[in-house]
Amino acid sequence: MKKGIGFMLALLLVFLLIVSGNAAPKKDTSWEEIAKRGYFVLGLDDSFPPMGFRDDKGQIVGFDIDVAKAVCQRLGIELKLQPINWDAKEQELNTKNIDCIWNGLTITPERKKNVLFTKPYMDNRQVIVVRADSGLASLSALAGKTLGLQAGSSAKDALNNVPDFEASLANVIEFDENMTALMDLELGGLDAVLMDEIVARYYIQQRNKNFMVLDEALASEEYGIGFRKNDQALMEKFQNTLIAMAEDGTLAAISKAWFGEDITVINR
C-alpha cells in the first residue's frame, strides 16, 4: 500500500513539473507599470554635449533631452533625469535605478547581451581630436603619443578593434568624462582624444577651441535607446512614439534646432 501511495505521489510530482514547465510566460507589464507610476527615469551622462549636458544655469539640456521630453509628453508621463556614472550604466539599468539609458548610447554586439535597444535613431563615428597646431594629421602620426578617452565608452571598444593602432600608442588614459579629457588635451597632457564625432564637432564649434578632427575615423556606429532585456513593451512604446515623431516632422524640428539639419535616421 505504501509503495502504491509513493508511486502515485511520484506521478503527481512529474505531472506538476510538466504543467509548470508549460505554463504561459509571464506577461510583460513594463509599460503598464510606468504608466501607472506616472513618471519615467532617464539615465544619462550629464557632460555629453549636445546630447545631454548642463547649461550655464546648471540645467540638464540637449538633443536627447528635448526628444525624451516630447516622447514623454505624448505618452502622458513625467520625465525624470538621473545623471549616472557612465562606466556603470548597465548596472544602473538592471538594478532598476533608471528605466533606460538615453544619451548618445552606441549600439554594440557586447551591449546587446545585456541591453534591449530601439532601432537606431542617429549615426555617429569614433574620431580623433588633436590640437590644431600639433602637426598631427593622421593616425600613423600618433605613434608613440598619448591618447585619452572616456571609460566605459564605445571609444574604448573602437580602439580595441584596431589593435595595430592601439599598440602604436605610448599610453592610453581613461577619463570619467570626455570634457575632462579635452581640457587635458588643451593643457598639453594628452596628444589626442578619441571620442564621438557628434560631441567633438559640437564642442569645437560652441567653445571655439583650437582643435581639429582627423579625417580618418576608427569606427562607424549608431545611437539607440537602451532598456532592460525583458522590457519589450516599454521599449516598443518609446520606439513607436519616436517613429511617429519622425513621420510628423517633430524629430526633424528638434534635430534642426541643435544641428542645423535633420540627422536622425529612425524612419529611414
Stronger pLDDT, 153 or 267, i.e. the higher one = 153
What value, to the nearest 5°, has the Cα angle with vertex 142 and ends 137 and 145?
A: 135
pLDDT range class, residue 1, cuts 50, 70, 90: very low
pLDDT range class, residue 2, cuts 50, 70, 90: very low
Can you name the residues that pair with 147 across neighbouring β-strands?
172, 192
Q: In the predicted model, what is the mean pLDDT of residues 48-55? A: 96
Q: Which domains does the chain have, with CATH numbers?
A: 30-121+224-259 (3.40.190.10), 124-222 (3.40.190.10)
Cβ–Cβ contacts within 10 Å for residue 147, how many?
24
pLDDT tens per residue, range 111-158:
999 999 999 999 999 999 999 999 999 999 999 999 999 999 999 999
Please give the pLDDT value at position 186.
96
Output the CA–CA distances (angstroms, integers) from residue 162 to 111, 139, 144, 218, 265, in the order listed.
Answer: 19, 11, 16, 7, 27
pLDDT range class, residue 238, cuts 50, 70, 90: very high
Rounded distance between C-alpha atoms, residue 72 and residue 69, angstroms: 5
pTM given for the model? 0.84
Rounded distance between C-alpha atoms, residue 261 and residue 268, angstroms: 15
Please give the pLDDT value at position 4.
53
Please give the pLDDT value at position 209.
84
